[in-house]
Chain A
Amino acid sequence: MTSSNLYHNSKAQWAVYAVFFIIVLAVPAVIDDSYTLNLLATFGVFAMLALSVSLVWGAGGVLTLGQGVPFGLAAYCMAMTMQMQAQTPDSPMPPFMANNSLTQLPLMWEPFKSTTTGLLIALFFPTVLWTLFGGLMFAARVHGGFVAVMTLAMLSAIGLLVLDIQPYTDGANGITPPNALLIAGHSIDPYSPTAYIIVAVALVVLAALSKALLAGKFGLVTHAIRTDSERTRFLGYNVFLYQTLLFGIAGFIASIAGCLFVMLEQYVSPAQLDVSFSVGMVIWTGVGGRASLLWAMLGALLINAGQTVVGDTLLNTWLLFLGIFFILVVRFLPKGLAGVAEWLVGFFLRRRGPAQHQAVAPAHEGG
């Protein structure tokens, strides 16, 4: 890392991440309005999604428009688990099923009777499915825009399927578990500081691990694959394994986000599998800066905060504005807000770094 710009200094980057982590974790000490806390926790879930998109798109170089697949499937599994927590031997079946003329609990709901099994399925079934799907694509050396198209197709297919099997998923209505998540006898009130802290800790841990992942040799190989996957093969690396693993890790992060989302919202619907939601994740990531995990997360936080401030009445205007802004970012600011930060840090702190005229190299680990 030779850049004189402090922005690329690995220690400085970790320091900035540390500040971000502390702020995220300290929020409940400052804010005690439970509604706001729940809202911020939901933003944390969105930041997790941006983190996962940033890994695949920013670090891996393949655009995913289907990140809603692991997210949405995990959310459904989580909602099924929480729904079954409310069922008793007297009423073994969620009420909506009777309305859809089912007479007994369908087989696919059986495993969710156990909370542990339900949670394991929620975390790992979407991850495994997504990893296999990624593996199929990368084995066929699909890349560039084709990954975007295929992930999008997968998302649409799963969204339709969930709508289609109404007796099992309650179709467009979605699933609304009546009670908060029960874990080992504790009820996790979505509006409590506990719920916030669970999300915040998950976000901090996942972000730190992702950052470390990209800082090591794995990250260097990933950088090489993004730049020239063919060249990387001739160095002896199995590009397919690296790509699939990164894709799977991002799927796992999205699955965790899906579980936490339902913990906070007590609700899931096909909206979580909607194309516009997954495209939204890409917009948060792109505006923040896809090459930077931190800025991708900040993009998600800023845009969602903005959306809340603007409110429902102006929502369409806001979305239009956001769309235009995204186009401007893609056209003029390919590194997103991270690029602005990079420039500002370089501009104001130039004289502090050692003067090196030979090279200003963007580090392989983004900001």
Chain B
Amino acid sequence: MGLLKITGLSKKYGAVTVLDGFNLDVTECTLRCLLGPNGAGKTTAMDMITGRQRADTGSILFDGHEIRGLREDKIARRGIGRKFQIPSVIRDLTVQENLFLAAADEVNPLRNMFRFGIGRARGRIDYVAELVGLKTRLAAAAGFLSHGETQWLEIGIVLMQDPKLLLMDEPAAGMTEHEAEKTVEIFNMLKKTHTLLVVEHDMAFVRGVADAVTVMHLGSVLAEGTMAEIEKNDEVRHVYLGTGDVADAA
């Protein structure tokens, strides 16, 4: 049984159907990539899982419990962390403050009134900063980071929460080749202990990390399998603008 099990998820915006009976099963300690052309509904699927949008019908089981309809912060506290497609770090806080903010081990506002200084989050901040290569940038304002560094900070923020399931929406977008390679390493390390669902258009990146792949089209599943199987699938090739090669689609 997977850690995340989505069945028959549908969502309409007015007359537009964005998700149409979408199914997904993510096994524990694996990395599944979610592919699909622009507008396929990948980000919307993540919106449903994290409670940002409400699905019309369907079920989202996380760790065996229905989480559909729960509030965003409750879902997050169940152990689902999310990196957004559009980086949303707090730009006028430092890297360290962004990471400390994400150390949401205590969310009670009354207790947080009496918490000063980084305290017991120190170790975890240093560990995560080291992991995403921002150890020397802790004191910099997040708004001054390069694009790749901002992506890493986003990833770091998700790691600070230490969620069971990590949702990563286009983590390598805008990264240099070198940066993307390093991110591949990080993800491959993470999947030994965490479960990941990754949306990415960069096929080299997907080949580097994916244990399994789901291809979406028009809000439902078009194909599922390993990356090798997916690349041979005619339907998938056709959907990707008929280029004949998934790799060109990005």
| Contact surface of A with B, Cβ cutoff 8 Å | 1-2, 212-213, 215-218, 220-221, 223-224, 227-228, 230-239, 241-242, 245, 356, 358-362, 364
Contacts and interface: CB of A to CB of B under 8 A. Distances in A.
A245 B50 CA distance: 25
B150 interface: no
B113 A359 contact: no
A223 B93 contact: yes
B109 A364 contact: no
A218 B109 contact: yes
B100 A220 contact: yes
A242 B143 CA distance: 25
Contacts of B217: none
Contact of A220 (B84, B91, B101): B101
Given A216-B115, A231-B84, A236 B73 contact: yes
Nearest to A237: B107
Contact of A361 (B84, B104, B112, B141): B141
A364 B97 contact: yes
A194 to B, nearest CB: 31
Interface string B140-159: 11011000000000000100
Contacts of B94: 1-2, 359, 361
13 contacts: A2-B139, A216-B113, A217-B113, A220-B93, A220-B97, A227-B92, A233-B72, A234-B50, A234-B81, A235-B101, A237-B104, A242-B109, A360-B141
B116 interface: yes
Name, among B82, B92, B97, B109, the residue most crowded by chain A CB atoms within 10 Å (CB to CB). Answer: B109
B40 interface: no
Top 5 A-B pairs, shortest CB-CB distance? A361-B141, A233-B72, A236-B76, A359-B141, A2-B139
Nearest to B93: A364
B122 to A, nearest CB: 14
Contacts of B220: none
Interface in B86-139: 88, 90-94, 97, 100-102, 104, 106-107, 109-110, 112-116, 139
B77 interface: yes
Given A2-B140, A216-B115, A364-B93, A235 B102 contact: yes
A216 B112 contact: yes
Given A234-B72, A234-B76, A217 B106 contact: yes
B59 interface: no
B161 interface: yes
A213 B102 CA distance: 19
A224 B101 contact: yes
B100 to A, nearest CB: 7
A241 B110 CA distance: 9
A271 B77 CA distance: 47
Nearest to B142: A361
A325 B245 CA distance: 63
A56 B139 CA distance: 28
Contact of B76 (A212, A235, A360): A235
B144 A358 contact: yes
B139 A359 contact: yes
B82 A234 contact: yes
A362 B94 CA distance: 9
Contacts of B100: 217, 220
Given A231-B84, A233-B76, A361 B92 contact: yes
Given A220-B100, A223-B93, A245-B110, 4 more contacts: A216-B114, A235-B157, A236-B161, A238-B73
A207 B104 CA distance: 27
Given A213-B113, A217-B106, A239-B73, A224 B82 contact: no
Contact of A216 (B77, B93, B116, B143): B116
Interface in B48-73: 50, 52, 71-73
A359 B91 CA distance: 11
A217 B144 contact: no
Given A2-B140, A228-B88, A221 B50 contact: no
